[in-house]
Amino acid sequence: MSYEKFSVADFKRKFPLFSQPENRELIYLDNAATTQKPQCVIDAIVDFYQHSNANTHRSSHRLARRATAMVERVRVQAAAFLQAASPREIIFCRGATEALNLLANSLCSELQPGDEIVLSTAEHHANLVPWQMMAKKNQLTLRYVPDLAGVPEFDRLHEVLGARTKIVSLTGGSNALGLRPDFADIARQLREARERFGGNPRWIVDAAQLAAHEAIDVQRLGCDFLVCSAHKFYGPTGIGLLYGRESLLLAMPPWQGGGEMIAEVDLHQSRYGDLPHKFEAGTSSLASIAGLGATLEFLAGQDRVAMAAHEQVLLQKLHEGVATLPQVRLLSQPQHNLGVLAFAPVSGSATDLMHWLDGRDIAVRVGHHCAQPLIRAAGESATVRASIAAYNTMEDVDHFLAALRDYLSLSEVEESPAVQGLPDWQPDDLSALQLERLAAQRNWQDRYRELMRWGKAITEKPAIRCPENLVQGCESAAWLVHREAGGVHFFALDSDSRVVRGLGALLLTQIDGKTAGDIRAADIEALFTDLGLARHLSESRSNGFYALMRAAVETLQ
């Protein structure tokens, strides 16, 4: 099947979330966090609970036999999905995070002080923190692939490989930038390092992002271990896969102890079960395994090459559109990218933009994406991430780009001049703000737009940005100062967020230049509710407004 024959409309109809009345206009671009689920996956989970709900392996009744058969059938499917040599090489985990913790604990338990683990700056926290914990516990050394502005240069992996290298654990695709390494080149460098230094460092691939976008063949890849999470590739949450070479899994000690993973237990020692069960302590998420089986069957019936080609067309269009906007800094590149657009506004708050897009029913994600070292090295504290899946359409991309341009055109007007050096600060002039105009806006988008215009009345005040003026509880940093003159109270505030400035301006229209009695008598919460702000703003944004209000009242004490 070629890309031209891929029907995104037919594919999207398989996902019932998009057919619900409240979601028919939804543009879902948060797929790197989690993908939506096709009907067959939902049906498989329901079917398990309706017809097969029982614990596995250690009971002979009919429901237990059926559940056991399902689990082992899905294990065979998973082995085929990853092209593993045997189902014995497939371990069910709660997700990639648990799988990486299992590997870190089991593999590092037999290393010697001074042995080395190689990672990269692009790793998800789940592929950093477990190794950091084991390095501290066992006196191991962490080394990192050389990088340029935080982006790993995987072709220079050989520079950090040596005789003490025991583990190389690298992303199969960055969740923050979408960057996909050249696996063949990594395999070559590891092979040459083995020939040069001897030893046999274990190569782990974190394929949490990779599995949704291309077929995986662990035999061709040549890795020793690979992990992935089903919810990233159209499957249920709470279940993931750990592939490991059978010889290595046999030699590894288990990580967790308990039921299902043992063959025999007495009071002083235990004998562990055979593969793969010695790594599967406790009761597995059986309904999720049933859903995983349906996911694997679903993907086996799709043209993965056509899906990937469709995604790449969308990804290229996204990058081309955002690259034309001077008000944003583009961090990702479309080449060697698994489906992520990452950028940051040149000025203002990424969180403001996220809320603006949410008002247009466009779902993106803002933050460090559990990749703080990479985002910091890029010179940002948070980025906007739009991530695609095969059910996304060209119309989704067009609507996203139009909403982004709309926001940025509004933001250009909203920039307020900085007032430098205000040890003796003056209140902002709020006389032009009309509460009636804000209340009269016909819909939430227009009211949000008006609120951002209100933010223009709040000037930048570098002099008040100090820890003692920082208001705790705001989603975006906000600073508030106060003074009293002749029984009247005056306030000034500042924030990086235009929306927080607008909310602050609303607050100050009710309290600035008023007596303490007038301020305490003002029913500001009712005003906030009457304007629809409590209903439409996120909980964190609402909490930020209330935090500003409390901070202002506390200054009256």
Residue 370 designated active-site: yes
- On whether the CB atoms of residues 177 and 341 are closer than 8 A, the answer is no
Task: Find the helix or strand (DSSP H, E) in which 318 lies.
Answer: helix 304-323
Beta strands 202-206 and 165-171, pairing class: parallel
Diameter over CA atoms, the chain:
85
Options 40, 370, 466, 474, the catalytic residue: 370
- On whether the CB atoms of residues 223 and 216 are closer than 8 A, the answer is no
Q: Assign residue 15 a region: left if phi > 0, alpha if psi is -120 to 50, beta otherwise?
A: beta
| Spatial separation of the C-alpha atoms in residues 552 and 489, rounded to whole Å | 10
| Spatial separation of the C-alpha atoms in residues 255 and 327, rounded to whole Å | 49
- On whether the CB atoms of residues 154 and 171 are closer than 8 A, the answer is no
Structure tokens at 20: 């619900």
| Spatial separation of the C-alpha atoms in residues 132 and 137, rounded to whole Å | 9
Structure tokens at 468: 């003692």
Name the one residue in this structure whose structure tokens are 């291309």. 214
Task: Find the helix or strand (DSSP H, E) in which 385 lies.
Answer: strand 383-387
- On whether the CB atoms of residues 152 and 100 are closer than 8 A, the answer is no
- Taking alpha carbons only, the member of 88, 72, 99 closest to residue 245 is 88
Task: Find the helix or strand (DSSP H, E) in which 165 lies.
Answer: strand 165-171
| Spatial separation of the C-alpha atoms in residues 59 and 75, rounded to whole Å | 19
152, β-bridge pairs: 147
CA 298 to chain centre: 24
Burial class, 122, CB count within 10 angstroms (exposed 0-12 / middle 13-18 / buried 19+): buried
**Beta-carbon contacts of residue 320 (< 8 Å; ≥ 6 apart):** none
Give DSSP secondary structure letters for 216-255: --HHHH--SEEEEEGGGTT--TT-EEEEE-HHHHHHSPPS
- On whether the CB atoms of residues 260 and 58 are closer than 8 A, the answer is yes
Looking at the chain, how many residues does it have? Answer: 557
**Beta-carbon contacts of residue 305 (< 8 Å; ≥ 6 apart):** 1
| Spatial separation of the C-alpha atoms in residues 179 and 162, rounded to whole Å | 25
Single-letter amino acid, residue 6? F
Beta-carbon-side half-sphere exposure of residue 183 (alpha carbons within 13 Å): 21
Single-letter amino acid, residue 550? R
- Taking alpha carbons only, the member of 276, 298, 154 closest to residue 212 is 298
| Spatial separation of the C-alpha atoms in residues 316 and 319, rounded to whole Å | 5
- On whether the CB atoms of residues 547 and 472 are closer than 8 A, the answer is yes
- Residues annotated as part of the active site: 370
